[in-house]
Structure formats: structure tokens, C-alpha cells
Structure 1
Amino acid sequence: MDWILRVNQVMDYVEEHLCDLIDEQEISRIAACSFPLFQGAFTQMTELPLSEYIRRRKLSCAAYDIQNTDEKIIDIAMRYGYASADAFTVAFKRLHGVSPMQARGPGVKLAFYGRLRFTLAMEGVDKMDYTVMVKPGFKVIGIRRVTSSGGGTWEVVHSDGSHEAIQQRCGRPLDLGLCFGFDETGSNDYMCAIEWEQEDVPGFESYIYPEGTWLKFEANGSISGHTLGNVWKRINTEFLPQSKYEKSGPTIEKYAAWDEASDRCKVEIWIPVRLKPKPRS
């Protein structure tokens, strides 16, 4: 456990010095071993060189700065140790798939690598793709219930004729799942819905989202492998705790495909967010 503690202290040091020169001797002192030995152990544990981990963390933070400040890109590049805009652009595009200038546009998908934390298990090695969206206000209509799970509401709408009724009335099937939260018993206040621009429809509830910023993630894989739940777990245990965002309203699951016969799902997760308040000094 002493080694795990020391490795996490090295991760703390790296995180605190992403914008500074990272001192190999200081890492050696914290880890209580030579720097080459620590590098080798780190790569064995993560299958990732320490230098690549640091690069990914810097470029993940740089992407946030680009999207949320008006700073010049060259100033952001220099903050994270790049001597020229060209070198920064090449590295940024290699990780995110777009240039720094393109990252300032709306609806751009970026990669996020979280800070590593070592326990008996390890978090943060695999990247999470996410997109920041600014959406105008919109309305949804559908069926809202409190059940023991979000899936319980889907069972209701498929068994009581609601799904067919809204499809006949509105011309398309329910494809959104809104999670309003859980009560003290663990029951989920959940709504199966569609986006709707017209007047409210009798017999169905409505909910209006204001204009705002959203994060979009994708769950694409097997249903039996709990792909959707695993993505949600990483969002709530890795991404949101380390990001500067917090949820600002009911989250949405947008179902592009959910085929139990072929054991495949494709679901977009939309999270309305705002910036976390700065801690008081």
C-alpha cells in the first residue's frame, strides 16, 4: 500500500505541474526510487509511457481552456509547454482529431483523459470521447413515471399502449429517456419522450429545457456487456469529478438503436451542464 500511496502522490505532483517543468528528481524523491525505475513500473502498470500520459493530460486541459476562454491559442500552447503554435497544433490534432481553431467551433467532438488514480483497480487509462454542444431551448413530451429503474418506465410504455399511441399521434416513436433523479429508496423519476415543437398533446406530459451547454457521450456496444451502464459509471466516477462541469438539469439518453435480438445498443448521453463554482479561497 505504501507503493500505491507514493504513485498517487506522483500523480498529484504531475497534475499540479502540468503547466510547469516536471522535475524527474522530484518524482524520484516522491516515489523513493530512481526515475528510470519509476518510468518502467508506470508503463508496466498502465501499458502507457509516463510521457504519453502527461501529454494526454496537458492536451485534455488545453482543450478545455480553448473552449471556455478567449485566450490566444499560442498563449495556451505555451502554458502547456509547446514552443510554437505549429507544434501544438500537430499534437492537438493527433489527440483530438481537430485543430485548436476547429475546437472553438460548436458541436466538436474532443477526447478526454482523466487523472490516473491507483487503487486495487485503476481509472483513467482509456480515453472518453465527448462533445460540447450549445443547444437552443427545446421541449419534449412523453410518459413520466417513478419506478425502481429507468428501464421500468420503458416497460410501462411498451405494455400499456403508450408507445403506440404517441407514435400514431406524433408520427415517430419514443426515443429519449430523461432521468430526473433518484429518491431515497432508489426509485428513478424517469420520462420516455420525444422532442416536440408543437402544442402539448393531451395525455402526455411535457418538459422544457432552456438554452444551454450540453455534454454528449456515446455508448455503442453490447447490451449484455452493460455498455450503457459502464459509460454512465465512467462519466460519474471519472469525467465529472475531474472536469469543471456539473449537471444542471435532467439528463437524456437518446436511443438510436436498442436491439436485444442482436445484443447491440447505440445510445447518445446528453448532459446539461454549467461550470462548477470556484472554491472559496
Structure 2
Amino acid sequence: MEWIERLNEVISYIEEHLDDEISNEAIGKIVVCPVGSFQRTFSLMTGITLSEYIRRRRLTKAAFELQSTDCKVIDIAVKYGYESSDAFCVAFKKMHGITPIAARQQNIKLKSYPCLAFELRIKGDVEMNYRVVEREDFRVAGKIVTSSLENNIIPEFWDQCKKDGTVDRLLEIGVNSSTLGMCFGYNDEGINDYMVGIETSNEGIEGMKYVVVPKSTWLVFESIGPVSPTLENTWGRIYGEFLPQSIYKQAALPTMEKYFGSDVDADDYRVEVWIPVVKE
């Protein structure tokens, strides 16, 4: 329950600072974890990035002020974090479909994005299969790309690795036939290094990067069904339902997705989600 309370504290902090600077440092102190990790959790739980949520709330507030006050457009733009009326105009039109000036007319339809509120849902109709695994250190080989919450290029990177033969080369050096997707953690700007790899005992393969994952305790969850949207839904349930109630918190190691087979659209396709943890 403490995690849900912290999430709502972050939302309250954001609401109080929509017309001011929103500090990553302050958010980190509230959630007591790296801001990058929180940003990913927020995105998985809500379906939008934290920065997009803040943008929508600010533009919702801006629309209210345009309709209820005589403040200049540039003053409202600056108040809600835009350096120029042109930048504000572009963002406002993208969300509301009209310009800030037009928003002051009568009978105009605008969009309003409400303030979020998190609550703990206790659900027993759909179980979550998981196990606790203690693993010694192991070696992973693969290729790494830098992605972000705002511009997620990981699906395209997987396609590239399949087309250029990287996945085939990984299967040749792996200790098994399960490829891995490793997320090394998001920084405060929502940037993340991601590896398409495989567990291996080899080293020094040309063109491959190597990572040694240290000994750790892992929670392992199953995702059964087409990768899209089943896997994302599984991540959402892990962060939104399981971890807030559990005795575990995520450790500062990469998370992993372990893929079994190649038909990612099959109804029985299986992925394991591996999360490194420590007990609270």
C-alpha cells in the first residue's frame, strides 16, 4: 500500500507544480527509487509516459485559463513551461485540435485530461504465475541499442537483428535456444540501454557485446499469448498489482524478457519476465 501512496504523492506534487518547475530530484525523493525506474513503472501502469502526462495536464489547465481569463496567450504559454507562443500554439493544437486563440470562442470543444489517482486493486479472477529463482552469475552476449520512453525503437531493433543475422548468430553461441531482451534501466531523462542477446559460455565473438549478470534473486513471471499486447499487459500487472502487495522490491540489475520460439503472434507464445529483487 505504501507504493500506491507514494504514486499519489507524486501526482499531488505534479499538480502543485504544473505552473512551475517539476523536479526529477523531488520525484525521486517521494518514490525512494531512481527516477528512470519510476518513469518506466508509470508508463507501464498508465499507458503513457510521465512527460506526456505532465504535458496533457498543463495543456488542460492552459485551456481552462484561456476560456476563463483575459491573460495573454504568451503569458499562459510561459506559465506552463513553453518558451514561445509558437511552441505553445503547436502543442496546444496537437492536443486540442485548435489554436489557443480559437479556444477563446464560444461553443468550442476542447479536451480535458483529468488528474490521475492510483488505487490498489485486489483481483483474483486472473492469476499470475510466478516463481522465485536464485541464480549464480551468468554471461550474456548480444547487441545493444539506446532507446527511450518517448521514442521506443526496441521493436525496430529486434526486426533489424532478425534481418541482419544477429539472432541466428546468437542462437549458434547460446547455451539454449531462448533469446533475451535485457533492459539496463532508465535514467532520469527516460533513456535506456537495451540488449538483444542470449546466455552464453563463449566470449570474444566479433561484433558482440558481453555482460556478466551477478548472482541475484529473481521473480519470474509467465506471459502466454501474442507478444503484442500480452507482454505489455503482463508488465503492467507486475508493477500495478503484484509488486505493490509483495515483500519484494526491484534490485538495481537489468530486467530480462526470455523468449521461447519465433512465432511471436501465436496464441500460446511464451515469454518469461525476469525481475531481479531483494526483500523489503
The higher relative CO (CA closer than 8 Å, separation ≥ 6) is in 2
